[in-house]
Amino acid sequence: MRFLMLNWRDPRNPLAGGAERVTLAYLRGLVERGHDVTWFANAFPGGASEELIDGIRVLREGSKFTAWLSARKWHSEQDPFDLVIDQHHGIPWYAPNWCPDKCVAYIHEVLGPIWDTFYPWPLNAIGRWQERLTLRQYREVPFWTASDYTRELLAEQGVESIVQIPYGVATRALVELPEKELDEPLRLVTVSRLAPNKQVDHAVAAVWCLREHHQLEATLEIVGQGQCETEIRQTVKQLGLEDYVTFRGGLNEADKDAALREAHFLLHTSVREGWGLNVVEANAMGTPAIVYPSPGLVESTRHRETGLVADEASPEGLAEMIAEVQSHEGAYQDWRQAAHGRARTFHWDEVLPVACDQLEFWAKGE
């Protein structure tokens, strides 16, 4: 069968993130089942107009606001696809309006307040308005998502058919957990694109709070790159944390796993997530997460079972939670064990067959 994925970024895009990693895994799974798979994405500087990635034909043309027009023109010249997957990131591809093939919508999160982190008024208000309008227009299109919260928001907008499939991770859980005592200095890590909605500067401020208000020694490793790096470095300097915060940049999988394995906690301070893949990746390395009480993150982290959810979304709230657990070594070790065990259920070996079966089901029109 023939599948077409419409997604603004592809795996080689410098801004690719978790959405692209899971999308690649799903499409690679379809290729391994013998299907013909194409991924149409926005163009980016230095990116070839066409290339083959893991058996997937990747095409690039247009920008954030024009790529859907390029896809429409290109699609009109192709043989029919058995299934077209319209992936939403605030702005969809409007495929049901111009594509006669069967279409499903794939969404990680309803952006909502994320618009406010990227755009000033009135652009943020326009973004929120068009997103609500779009979801109402798509209400008869089958939707695919991973989180309970996103499913509930879609239902509130009148979407009639929603299939929930959990995310998977490529990180294999450690066979055995190495010993890791909860001693000072506390080793903290963030793994994220350095984008406005990720609020990595909050993790930096939390380290300052730990040191200044709780007299706890703590260090932070920041893994990732992005548009906010300069601002975050300025925050580190302003708070006098140059000796305690390290920027690791983008790491390969082995080095990222090592950073997660060596940390006491992963910190996640995002405004909203579809799920929080790096939480599960950290869990696979035997490292619990302490997260903001944000949609998505409260699903990937089970409070006081596999990690902690802060009482409030602030650096002070995050620091309070870290300080509280520092004196509970037994609970920490229990969370490590539970997080490690749960992470095993999210490996692609478990998740991918379910996802591919569902995509084939839609493609067959069943």
Topology alike, domains 2-168+347-363 and 186-345: yes
* 265-268 β-sheet, strand order: 245-249, 218-223, 186-191, 265-268, 289-291, 307-309
**Is cis: bond before 122, omega within 30 of 0?**
yes
pLDDT band at 365 (very low <50, low <70, confident <90, very high): confident
Residue 21 C-beta-side C-alpha neighbours within 13 Å: 15
**What pLDDT shows up at residue 168?**
93
**What pLDDT shows up at residue 72?**
98
pLDDT band at 275 (very low <50, low <70, confident <90, very high): confident
pLDDT band at 102 (very low <50, low <70, confident <90, very high): very high
- Is residue 280 classed exposed, middle or buried when 0-12, 13-18 and 19+ CB atoms within 10 A define those classes? buried
Q: How do residues 4-24 score in pLDDT, each as one tens digit?
A: 999 999 999 999 988 999 999
Length of the chain: 366
What Å distances lie between residue 245 and 201, 204, 217, 317, CA to CA? 11, 7, 12, 19
- Say if strands 36-41 and 50-53 run parallel, antiparallel, or are unpaired: unpaired
DSSP classification of residue 174? P
As its CATH architecture, domain 2-168+347-363 has 3-Layer(aba) Sandwich (3.40)
37: region left, alpha or beta (phi > 0 left; psi from -120 to 50 alpha): beta
pLDDT band at 366 (very low <50, low <70, confident <90, very high): low
**Residues 299, 136 contacting (CB under 8 angstroms):** no
Which DSSP string do the residues of 13-59 spell out, in sequence order? STT--HHHHHHHHHHHHHHHTT-EEEEEE---TT--SEEEETTEEEE
Tell whether the model's pLDDT for residue 327 goes beyond 90: no
CATH class of 186-345: alpha beta
Of residues 275 and 332, more confidently modeled: 332
What is the average per-residue pLDDT within 51-80?
Answer: 97
Tell whether the model's pLDDT for residue 363 goes beyond 90: yes
Tell whether the model's pLDDT for residue 270 goes beyond 70: yes
Q: How do residues 180-205 score in pLDDT, each as one tens digit?
A: 999 999 999 999 999 999 999 999 99
**Residues 9, 15 contacting (CB under 8 angstroms):** yes
| Dihedral (CA of 56, 62, 68, 73) sign | negative
Q: What is the pTM of this model?
A: 0.90
Domain extents for the chain?
2-168+347-363, 186-345
Select, from the ranges 108-112, 163-167, 209-213, the one with the highest average predicted confidence (pLDDT): 209-213
Tell whether the model's pLDDT for residue 118 goes beyond 70: yes
**What pLDDT shows up at residue 184?**
92
Query: What 3-state class would DSSP assign to 164?
Result: strand
